[in-house]
């Protein structure tokens, strides 16, 4: 009996469910760089280079461990173009009579896999992806019968279930959440350590060459590639984060500084999401640093909440709500993505910096994704389909299970408050408080109206005004709506006029 075990680009873990009980004598592993996956959206060049290189390194490790493996490179003339066609071919060649898979990260891929057993006439077993700390059924059980789903309550259950950062049955420090301590701007005399960087080896160099020819029209820059592409290297990134950055992760989690794309963040999402690191080991290392006295509680708790709370929560939500979640558009947003999302040409310095760094690094840290780019997409009323596609393309850590809840739920409030209790909308003064972007901007953050005024200032009030019917009763928006209601008619009309001028300029592809 020969079993085929297919490994996807985001399944590069030796502990993967579908690699368990592998029979060295009879079984085959298949890995393939296929067109359907590499270009169903036009992924950032660095994202493709990273994943192809990480896949090739992982395949080499499996072969070194004695696995029989077929690896199909993108430019192989026999490349079948899709996962299913590659599976079918290998099944025929090696008389395979069973296919073992690990649950994929995207609904689209799962739907395809579910057809294979009937279409190929071979038994297909899809195993749970147990690299996540909450199984899909555990999440569904937690969500069942709840009027509201809130990350905070799920996170507390996860802390208890896994006994992370607990003293007996109490949270360490007697508080579950230290977010209020994590909102400082970066002092002028502080500069974050340089990120961990690796020189591309010959495998990565081959892949970079391939990507530069085959994906030349995709978004983003390919030079200065420095990602980790093996587990060994990813562990170095993790270790250096714990030693050098975790101490300040909490305090400056929300801070943004021009020319500092990496700040005190961990830069491990690429590796967690493709399987080179596991969430469990990441959390354990952070907790160990805290217990040794090497990291403060606000930083450790803040970091663990992101991995154990948000990461698991958005995944649970995605699978609970798909496929309908894809079509959510609670605020009936219709706007098209402005051109500057692709070419970075805008006079709004905050957006210019964040999109430029995204193009250079296939990375932006959370608060840039949320409070600059996301905030703009919300205030400008951009259509969820276009915003989702952009976010899926541009970040090297982007997979639909994590990207979509963050976009549809967190930034666009398109799910009507399923993920977040209120929209993350903010005017220029928030951006000015948390960053130094405004100092080099064409617009003035102090001005509220007129041609020189920061567009976030009037767009913020226009957004609330436009969506009053749907958001006016949100208890968490009581204060801004009271302010809006107390505004004079004249002030409101000025806000509307400025916003219309801005939207018209966007529509006509003028530089804003
Ligand atoms: C609009 C938008 C889109 C996003 N798209 C993605 C995406 O495609 N892929 C992705 O991994 N993350 C996404 N995030 C979440 C977050 O921005 C990134 O995980 C983070 O910036 C990755 O950088 P880091 O590893 O340095 O994270 P850190 O700030 O160091 O955080 C540590 C880890 O916590 C996890 N995490 C933190 N916040 C979230 C969150 N909101 N959802 C899920 N996991 C979280 C990540 O695994 C991250 O590596 C998105 C956030 C927003 C607002
Ligand atoms: S002034 Fe407004 S547009 Fe310019 S950087 Fe500040 S927040 Fe951004």
Model confidence at 241, in pLDDT bands (50, 70, 90)?
very high
Q: What number is the average pLDDT over the span 366-383?
A: 98
Which residue is associated with the tokens 């994704």? Answer: 369
Per-residue pLDDT, averaged over 35-44, amounts to 93
- Tell me which residue of 162, 366, 191 sits closest to 269, measured CA to CA: 366
What are the percentages of helix, strand and coil residues in the chain, rounded to 5?
A: 55, 5, 40
Distances (CA, A) of 293 to 28, 96, 281, 290: 47, 53, 18, 5
149-189 pLDDT, tens digit each: 999 999 999 999 999 999 999 999 999 999 887 889 999 99
- State how far the Cα of 73 lies from the Cα of 48, in Å rounded to an integer: 13
Q: What's the pLDDT score for residue 261?
A: 97
**pLDDT at 1 exceeding the cut of 90:** no
- Going by CA atoms, what residue is nearest to atom 8 of ligand 2? 350
| pLDDT tens for each residue of 268-293 | 999 999 999 999 999 999 999 999 99
Confidence band, pLDDT 50/70/90 cuts, at residue 423: very high
**Closest C-alpha to ligand 2, atom 3:** 348
Pocket test for ligand 2, best of 346, 368, 437 (most atoms within 8 A of CB): 437
CA-to-CA dists, residue 135 to 42, 140, 208, angstroms: 31, 9, 36
Q: What was the pLDDT predicted at 232? A: 98
Q: Which residues line ligand 2 (CB under 6 A)?
A: 348-350, 428, 431-432, 437-438, 441, 443, 445, 454-456
- Indicate the pTM of the whole model: 0.97
- Ligand 2 centroid to 266 CA: how many Å? 26
109 Cα: distance to centroid of ligand 2 (angstroms): 40
Q: Ligand 1 center to residue 397 CA distance, Å?
A: 8
**What is the chain's mean pLDDT, rounded?**
97
Predicted local confidence at residue 245, as pLDDT: 97
Q: How far is CA 306 from CA 116, 313, 379, 417, in A?
A: 36, 10, 25, 19
Q: By C-alpha distance, which of 419, 425, 412, 405 is closest to 329?
A: 412
Q: What is the number of the ligand closest to the CA of 452?
A: 2
Most ligand 1 atoms within 8 A of CB, residue of 151, 289, 402 to mutate: 402
Q: Is 310 in the pocket of ligand 1 (CB under 6 A)?
A: yes
- Cβ–Cβ under 8 Å, residues 321 and 491: no
Strand bridging mode 28-32 / 3-6: parallel
All domains of the chain in start order, with CATH: 3-127 (3.40.50.620), 136-196+229-321 (1.25.40.80), 340-507 (1.10.579.10)
Q: What is the pLDDT of residue 100?
A: 98
Contact assessment for residue 284 and residue 307, using Cβ atoms and an 8 Å cutoff:
no
Sequence-ordered list of residues with C-beta below 8 angstroms from that of 328, at least 6 positions apart, any chain: 384, 408, 414, 415, 416
With bands split at pLDDT 50, 70 and 90, how would you rate the model's confidence at 390?
A: very high
Closest protein CA for atom 1 of ligand 2: 445
Q: Is 26 left (phi over 0), alpha (psi -120 to 50) or beta?
A: alpha
Q: Considering only CA atoms, which residue is closest to atom 2 of ligand 2?
A: 454
Residues 240-253, mean pLDDT to the nearest whole number? 96
Least confident piece of the model among 169-183, 217-231, 254-268: 169-183
Ligand 1 atom nearest residue 272's Cα: 47
**Gap from CA of 444 to ligand 2 centroid (Å):** 7
pLDDT tier for residue 484 given thresholds of 50, 70 and 90: very high
DSSP 125: E
Tell me how far the alpha carbon of residue 246 lies from the centroid of ligand 1, in angstroms.
Answer: 16
Q: Are strands 170-171 and 166-167 parallel, antiparallel or unpaired?
A: antiparallel
Closest-lying ligand 2 atom to the alpha carbon of residue 457: 2
Mean pLDDT of 27-39: 94
- What is the predicted pLDDT for the residue at 291? 98
Mean predicted confidence (pLDDT) in 196-216: 98
Please tell me the predicted confidence (pLDDT) of residue 445: 98
**pLDDT for the residue 182:** 80
- Closest ligand 2 atom number to CA of residue 431: 7
The number of C-alpha atoms within 13 Å of 476 and in the hemisphere containing its C-beta is 7
Q: How far is 247 from 267, CA to CA, in rounded Å?
A: 15
């Amino acid at each position: 009996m020969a079993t085929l075990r297919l490994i996807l680009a985001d399944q590069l873990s030796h502990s993967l469910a579908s690699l368990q009980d592998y029979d060295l004598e009879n079984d085959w592993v298949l890995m393939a760089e296929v067109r359907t996956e590499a270009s169903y959206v036009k992924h950032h060049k660095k994202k493709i280079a990273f994943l192809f290189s990480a896949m090739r390194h992982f395949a080499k490790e499996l072969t070194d461990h004695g696995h029989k493996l077929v690896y199909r490179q993108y430019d192989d003339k026999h490349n079948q173009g899709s996962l299913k066609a590659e599976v079918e071919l290998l099944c025929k060649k090696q008389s395979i009579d069973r296919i073992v898979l690990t649950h994929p990260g995207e609904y689209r891929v799962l739907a395809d896999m579910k057809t294979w057993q009937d279409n190929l006439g071979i038994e297909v077993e899809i195993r749970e992806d147990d690299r996540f700390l909450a199984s899909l059924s555990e999440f569904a059980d937690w969500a069942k019968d709840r009027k509201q789903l809130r990350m905070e309550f799920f996170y507390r259950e996860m802390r208890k279930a896994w006994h992370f950062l607990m003293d007996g049955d109490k949270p360490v420090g007697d508080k579950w959440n230290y977010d209020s301590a994590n909102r400082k701007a970066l002092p002028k005399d502080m500069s974050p350590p340089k990120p961990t960087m690796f020189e591309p080896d010959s495998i990565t160099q081959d892949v970079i060459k391939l990507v530069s020819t085959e994906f030349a029209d995709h978004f983003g820059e390919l030079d200065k590639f420095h990602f980790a592409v093996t587990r060994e290297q990813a562990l170095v990134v993790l270790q250096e984060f714990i030693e050098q950055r975790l101490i300040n992760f909490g305090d400056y989690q929300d801070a943004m500084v021009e020319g500092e794309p990496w700040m005190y963040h961990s830069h491990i999402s690429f590796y967690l999401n493709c399987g080179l690191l596991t969430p469990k080991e990441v959390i354990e290392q952070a907790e160990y640093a805290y217990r040794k006295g090497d990291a403060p509680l606000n930083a450790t708790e803040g970091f663990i909440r992101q991995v154990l709370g948000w990461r698991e929560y958005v995944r649970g939500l995605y699978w609970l709500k798909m496929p309908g979640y894809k079509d959510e558009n609670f605020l009936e947003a219709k706007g098209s993505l402005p051109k500057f999302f692709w070419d970075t040409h805008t006079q709004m310095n905050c957006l210019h910096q964040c999109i430029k760094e995204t193009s250079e690094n296939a990375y932006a840290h959370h608060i840039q994704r949320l409070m600059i780019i996301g905030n703009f997409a919300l205030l400008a009323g951009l259509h969820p389909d276009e915003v989702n596609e952009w976010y899926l393309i541009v970040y090297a850590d982007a997979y639909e299970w994590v990207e979509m809840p963050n976009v549809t739920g967190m930034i666009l409030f398109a799910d009507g408050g399923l993920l977040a209790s209120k929209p993350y909308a903010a005017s220029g003064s928030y951006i000015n408080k948390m960053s130094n972007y405004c100092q080099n901007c064409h617009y003035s953050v102090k001005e509220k109206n007129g041609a020189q005024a920061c567009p976030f200032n009037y767009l913020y009030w226009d957004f609330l005004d436009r969506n009053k019917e749907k958001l006016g009763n949100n208890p968490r928006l009581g204060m801004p709506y009271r302010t809006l209601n107390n505004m004079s008619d004249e002030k409101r009309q000025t806000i509307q006029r400025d916003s219309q001028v801005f939207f018209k300029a966007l529509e006509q592809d003028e530089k804003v």
